[in-house]
Amino acid sequence: MEQETLPTEVILSHPQQTLGRLRLDWNPQPGAHLDVEGKTYTVLERRHRYQLKSGKYCLQTISLYVQSAQATAEHSYINGRSILGDATCRFNACSELIRCAVNPEGPCQGCRFYEKKGGNEV
């Protein structure tokens, strides 16, 4: 049986622009990585558009809002999941999408805002 593909529009979040239209055979969730024309992006948000056909709503297209994936070795693991940046820092967002509030672009190493978390915070 042939895998069904979903028409997908890939939109860069900042600056907002369409990167292209693809047909995907998987459903990328926020936090997933997606390669488009040789560049890697992180999925931030997914929106669905439906069309009414024969009295039923059918999925027509998916829009993926993405940002450039940060090629970095700065990953930590918390409860079995990978997060961006140094998890020992008080300001780390504990997210796959954003590093921290005070230095979201990074890098963590040598950051002037680094503050070690208390013993029970990690």
Q: Return the pLDDT at 86.
A: 85
Q: Return the pLDDT at 31.
A: 80
Q: CB of 76 within 8 A of CB of 85? A: yes
Q: Return the pLDDT at 46.
A: 94
Q: Find tokens 């042939």 and name the residue.
A: 2
Q: Return the pLDDT at 2.
A: 47
DSSP three-state, residue 53: strand
* pLDDT averaged per 10 residues, the chain (length 122): 75 91 87 84 91 93 87 65 81 83 82 82 51
Complete DSSP assignment for 60-82: EEEEEEEEE----S-EEEETTEE
